[in-house]
């Protein structure tokens, strides 16, 4: 019996090791940073939407219950935000559309981001009631909309006032009272910029324009064909992405701390669906010591180089014999620039 337990544990360890950087790992000596959720996925689990096996879901009564009277809560970091009657933060998803209202969060995504029911929802002080509406989901239920945008809670928000979903995947944002993404200095008004005549679920508002602008941006991670290095990863601005040999892929560790970060900037975690030209299963994230989430490729932390001044620069390649560009297969590129 004891042998069987040990054998099972050994198999589990081998499977985890094979999943991250197998055969391509330099053991770093920095503080160990454990992966968040499924380390293969940039959204920390739930197929890249930010739920993760480590998520602590809110109580079922909160996740699936009615919103009641929506409230406006002033915050230092995000300005005016919208909460349900229990004080739980409400969110919007940039991949949804406000006109016509449509939710693109189904399946595992809907587990991480429970849709807020339109039943019994009402506008409290500071929220224009004409901006409230509903949209029918694929399962036939009615989801609340604000300025046309479908409204969600976040499973990792376990108490009133939590805003852990802000910025997840670069596509999830706390709602402002006018349906726009909340941000410091934003107006708290009653749907300023939205068209009240659109009303209910058809209201487009300024949030639609904001969403359109975000979707028009370049993919946050893509592939550039460099004449010397071949196919290498770049960020949305065309800057080359690098990995550090003194980091470690498994267990995930970072040795770029302190002054190192003045030169090498961690690439923020993104939704794996927004990473183009590289197998999705290689895309992941982990939490740095300061609490920020960093993009990983094949479980290696990713960085940009401050010495790259223009798109396509590869000035960081081979620096100190430890920094290298990353190929479209997720491996370090050892060719010299």
Pairing, β 79-83 against β 149-150: unpaired
Most confident of 133-147, 161-175, 221-235: 133-147
User: How far is residue 72's CA from residue 84's CA, in Å, rounded to a whole number?
Assistant: 9
For residues 318 and 202, the model is more confident at 318
Neighbours of 300 (CB within 10 A): 31
E strands, 87-146, where?
A: 91-93, 97-98, 101-102, 122-123, 132-136, 142-146
Instruction: Render pLDDT for 56-78 as a digit per residue (tens, 0 to 9).
Output: 344 455 556 789 999 999 888 88
pLDDT value at 141 more than 80:
yes
Phi, psi of 132 (to 5 degrees): -80, 140
pLDDT at 204 over 80: no
Are 243 and 332 in contact by the 8 Å Cβ rule? The answer is: yes
Residue recorded with tokens 């359109």: 212
pLDDT number for residue 177: 95
Specify the DSSP class assigned to residue 181: B
Q: What is the pLDDT of residues 90-135, one digit of tens each?
A: 999 999 999 999 999 999 899 999 999 999 999 999 999 999 999 9
Helical spans, DSSP H, in 104-160 = 108-112
pLDDT band at 217 (very low <50, low <70, confident <90, very high): very low
| pLDDT the model gives residue 39 | 34
Lowest model confidence (mean pLDDT) among 184-193, 239-248, 313-322: 184-193
Predicted TM-score (pTM) of the model is 0.44
Beta strands at 172-174 and 91-93: parallel, antiparallel or unpaired: antiparallel
């Amino acid at each position: 019996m004891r042998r069987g337990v040990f054998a099972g544990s050994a198999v589990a360890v081998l499977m985890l090791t094979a999943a991250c950087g197998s055969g391509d790992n330099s053991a770093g000596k920095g503080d160990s940073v454990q992966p968040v959720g499924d380390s293969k996925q940039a959204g920390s689990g739930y197929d890249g939407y930010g739920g993760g096996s480590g998520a602590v879901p809110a109580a079922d009564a909160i996740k699936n219950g009615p919103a009641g009277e929506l409230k406006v809560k002033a915050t230092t970091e995000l300005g005016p935000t919208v909460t349900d009657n229990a004080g739980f933060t409400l969110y919007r998803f940039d991949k949804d559309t406000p006109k016509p209202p449509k939710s693109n969060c189904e399946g595992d995504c809907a587990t991480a981001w429970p849709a807020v029911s339109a039943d019994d929802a009402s506008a409290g002080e500071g929220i224009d009631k004409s901006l409230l509406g509903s949209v029918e989901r694929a399962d036939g239920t009615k989801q609340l909309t604000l300025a046309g945008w479908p409204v969600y809670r976040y499973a990792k928000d376990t108490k009133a006032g939590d805003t852990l979903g802000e910025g997840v995947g670069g596509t999830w944002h706390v709602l402002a009272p006018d349906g726009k993404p909340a941000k410091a200095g934003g107006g708290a008004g009653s749907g300023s910029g939205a068209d009240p005549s659109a009303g209910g679920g058809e209201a487009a508002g300024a949030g639609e324009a904001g969403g359109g602008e975000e979707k028009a941006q370049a993919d946050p991670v893509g592939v550039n064909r460099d004449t010397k290095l071949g196919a290498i990863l770049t960020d949305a601005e065309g800057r080359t992405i690098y990995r550090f040999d003194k980091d470690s892929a498994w267990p995930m560790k970072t040795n770029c701390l302190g002054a190192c970060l003045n030169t090498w900037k961690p690439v923020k975690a993104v939704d794996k669906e927004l990473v183009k030209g590289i197998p999705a299963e290689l895309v992941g994230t982990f939490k740095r010591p300061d609490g920020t989430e960093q993009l990983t490729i094949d479980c290696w932390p990713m960085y940009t180089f401050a010495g790259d001044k223009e798109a396509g620069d590869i000035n960081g390649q081979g620096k100190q014999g430890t920094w290298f560009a990353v190929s479209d297969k997720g491996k370090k590129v050892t060719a010299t620039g």
